Chains A and B, each alone.
Chain A
Amino acid sequence: MTGLLLLGLAAALAQDDGLTPFLATERPPLAHGRAVSLDLRGQPLSLAEVDALLASGELDDETLDAWLASPEFAEQVVRHHKGLFLNNVVFDLDPFRTLRDYGQFGFGVWYVYYLSPVRRGAAMTNCTDYDADVNELNQPLSWRTHWNGGRDEGAVDVNPWWDMDSTIRVCAYDAQLTEVSSSGNDCSTLEGQSDPECGCGPNLVWCSTAERQDRVTAALSEAISQRVRDVVAEDAPYTELLNDQGVYLNEDLVDYYRNRVQFSSTLSSPVPVEVLPSVDADTWVEVAGGEELSGALTEPGWLLRFQTNRGRANRFFTEFLCGEFIPPESGILEIAEENPTPDLSQKPVCMDCHTVLEPWAAYWGRWQEVGANHYDAATYPAYSEECADCAPHCQDVYCRRNYLTRVRHPHEESYVGSFLPYVFLVGDAEEHPDLGPALWADEITADGRLARCAAEKAAVWLLGRPEQEIDPELIDGWAADFTASGLSYRALVRTIVTSPSYRSAK
């Protein structure tokens, strides 16, 4: 059978059909319809659609509009935008709240690996599977001693929050139900994390599993895609991707924000916990967020994917302004000084790009790096008298971590007491941290650069050619139409796939 298949294939493929276009030619209606269908819906024409196209001789407006309004089109736009946002977060949200099952050794008992030193008195030490002697709070009353000196308290049965109908075995220390420890620590907060009397709480609600954490990080990534999906589905202005103040939530995110985000140093609930909605599985809801939010640009899925402000600005510049940083033809300057300035916009080697980049990075100045928390102006003023006064030898962790207190170069002298993201900012850029990336998005929307870049990216996607090979005037025209449509992404794609350029192919 295989031989016959190969024989047949060889015959088919060796066929010189004489139809391979040498020059770009206008595609017949059926081929054009198939191309549009694959680009807009990710699927070929159905038999009925083939027959309809053969009968009508062209892809009619009604069909095209139906395709543009379909969920399949939204998915194709989501795919395209994944290439822009790169929204795939790989981030260990909270290893100190992750239960591991050491069942691979045949025990099937869960414990928090990283808290073994706190709870069991020895690193990497778990209990063995015998019924623990515990009180009503699952606090062990007796234990055995491991060879390494660690306590082996045994295990208890628990119905975990992620599957309340099942029972799993959990090491008793990790299954403790204590709400406030005898030393006064609230076990539902970070202050209880180092308290041996604090465990994972009722139904382990203060802990989760690696699989559940992966679902949360996947949801952080997917929230951006959901935003794209909604903009396309609602035919909303494209700018909403970048300056909307809504927050996208699903079941995994709501559960995380309600029960475990308080243990995180990198995330916080984007809305007060009491207004978190109830969300059914596999659905997304949008709730109103704070003024500091700026669409996808302040989504945790973006902030954790690009973890520095410079990285965030660079990615935005590349994908939404279609720019790139290229060193000058004359080359970059060498560092001659022994103690070069830490101001990258003045530092040789760095200054050619950073003169531009630093003010842009400042748009994210009030967003945590290697995290996604917002630094509000009340808690983190641009200038702190208190931190300036304690410089240069502040004992205060808040000042040392967040404010310039130690001067290492003369260029830093005038910034003592400044919140770190403000250091070296001059002129209008001093406003950037407070205004946030929404300001940048608004600026490039107003001057047409966002429309121009979105049109260019869409042209590259749909024409399948690099931007250098596409007539800039053509893109200018599509960008103008896009702007005139009120930044309707559907309209932009419609313009391109009905253009003579898209119709001819080679």
Chain B
Amino acid sequence: MTPRAPVLMFLMAGCSGTSGSDAPSPQAGGSAGPQGQVDTALPPPDREAPGVSSSEVGAADAAPEPEGDHRALKRMSVAQTRTAMEQLSGGIEWAEGSAVLWESYAATLGVADHQTRLRDNLDPSIMYQKFLDDAAVQTCTAWVAGEADGTRTPRGFFVAIEPDATDAASVRANLVRLRQLVHAEQSGDTDPVVDGLEVVFDTVLRRTSDPVAAWTTVCVGLFTHPDFFTY
């Protein structure tokens, strides 16, 4: 048995706690397998399977329905990421001096050169997310501050709020608009990600009393969220 097997079996045991009619019946009189192995995937008959909270997990079909052909959610390429951040922020480049860092780090980010690397690496790797975070911090700092002090126009970030406003309704309205713009998410006021971003905004605002810092953090959160870099 490989070292990984016990972990897998433990996980499988956790998944088998279903009372659906399609679930296999536990074997009577214990759970020894054909070769005397203990089938730990099934609970002993004298003990109930652990319950789950419907409020945490929600309802789901016991077995997935067959799927038709579909598109895979894809990670943006480096070019798409760069273009998206620059377009959304009104042209702010992730740069150091005259060097655009998306280009400087292209090889590290797995951009194909069609000689030594034939295809773009589109894994949502730690490396990609680290650089995305760096780019987001630089872009957001300039973007939010620029719109807040009026040096960047027209506004693309403060689309439903004045930069210095902190009332809950306006903040939430702007978060909903940003979710539409940055993530193409149209759930609106019922969107749970907006709830999370609201917490982010409030937390930073409480600690800094600085709406710009709070919005900058929200901005970084938007750019580093999987809903931004996948589509």
Binding site for B on A (CB under 8 A): 1, 4-5, 7-9, 11-19, 22-24, 28-31, 33-35, 38, 42-47, 50, 54, 79, 82-83, 86-88, 90, 462-465, 470-471, 474, 500-506
Question: Interface 1/0s, chain B 117-161, versus A by CB < 8 A?
Answer: 011000000000000010001000000000000000000100100
Question: Cβ of B80: which chain A residues have Cβ within 8 Å of it?
Answer: 38, 42-43
Task: Tell me the complex Cα distance, A31–B113, Å.
Answer: 30
Name B's A-contacting residues (CB within 8 A).
58, 60, 64-65, 67-74, 76-77, 79-80, 83-84, 87-88, 112-115, 118-119, 133, 137, 156, 159, 180-182, 184-187, 191-193, 195-197, 199-200, 203-204, 207-208, 213, 216-218, 220-221, 224-225, 231
Bound state CA distance, A464 and B197, in angstroms?
A: 30
* B115 and chain A: residue at smallest CB distance: A88
Hey, which chain A residues are within 8 Å of B218, CB to CB? 8
- Residues B217 and A23 in contact, CB atoms below 8 Å apart: no
Q: CA A503 – CA B218 in complex, angstroms? A: 29
A463 touches B217 (CB 8 A): no
- The closest CB in chain B to the CB of A83 belongs to B119
- Measured CB to CB, the closest approach of chain B to A196, in angstroms, equals 38
Q: Which residues of B contact A47 (CB under 8 A)?
A: 156, 159, 181
* Cross-chain contact A4 with B217 (CB below 8 angstroms): yes
CA–CA, A15 and B224, complex, Å: 13
Q: Chain B residues near A86 (CB, 8 Å)?
A: 114-115, 118
Min CB–CB distance A314 → chain B (angstroms) = 14
When the two chains form their complex, are residues A43 and B84 in contact, meaning their CB atoms are under 8 A apart?
A: yes
A506 to B115, CA, bound (A): 32
Q: A8-B218, A30-B180, A31-B185 are in contact. Are A502 and B196 (CB under 8 A)?
A: no
Knowing A30-B185, A35-B71 touch, does A8 contact B221 (C-beta < 8 A)? yes
Closest-by-CB residue of B relative to A504 is: B70
Known: A33-B184, A43-B84. Is A79-B73 also a contact (CB below 8 A)?
no
Q: How far is the CA of A7 from the CA of B202 in the complex (A)?
A: 12
Q: Are A462 and B71 in contact (CB under 8 A)?
A: yes
Residues of B within 8 A of A502 (CB): 71
Query: What's the Cα separation between A29 and B186 when bound, in Å?
Result: 9
**Beyond A19-B192, A79-B79, A502-B71: 5 further Cβ-contacts under 8 Å?**
A11-B196, A14-B196, A15-B195, A30-B185, A465-B72
Using known A-B contacts A464-B74, A502-B71, determine if residue A43 contacts B83 with beta carbons closer than 8 Å.
Answer: yes
Closest 4 CB pairs of A and B: A15-B196, A24-B70, A34-B184, A8-B217
CB distance from B17 to the nearest CB of A (A): 18
**In the docked arrangement, what's the CA distance between A31 and B231, Å?**
7
CB distance from A74 to the nearest CB of B (A): 14
Interchain CB contact (< 8 A) of A30 among B60, B71, B79, B184? B184
